[in-house]
Amino acid sequence: MTGRVEHADGDRREAFPASWGVPPGERFSEERAGWIAGQVRRLVMTRKATPEDLRRDLAKKRIPPWSRK
């Protein structure tokens, strides 16, 4: 197969999951291709992550109460 395929979910009827929203840019544009590639990369990393990896990443995002305004 040649060219970029916008399938990420394995569903051949949809280009990508509806939960991703509407991609930026025109069809076949570099902006759109980069956005889709980033979404696919995030999906693959999440699927391969162990529960410990997910907890560690969530802990990094947590904001301590004293830093909130």
- Rg of the Cα atoms in the chain: 16
Structural contact between residues 36 and 16, judged by C-beta atoms closer than 8 angstroms = yes
> Which has more confidence, 60 or 14?
60
State the amino acid at position 54 in one-letter form: L
What confidence tier does 21 reach under pLDDT thresholds 50, 70, 90? confident
Number of Cβ within 10 Å of residue 20's Cβ equals 16
Q: What is the mean pLDDT of the chain?
A: 80
H-assigned helices in 12-67? 30-48, 51-61
Q: Which of 2, 9, 37, 10 is nearest to 23 (CA)?
A: 37
Mean pLDDT, rounded, for 15-42 = 87
Does this model's pTM top 0.75? no
pLDDT computed for residue 13 by the predictor: 62
Assess whether pLDDT exceeds 50 at residue 1: no
Tokens of 38: 């980033």
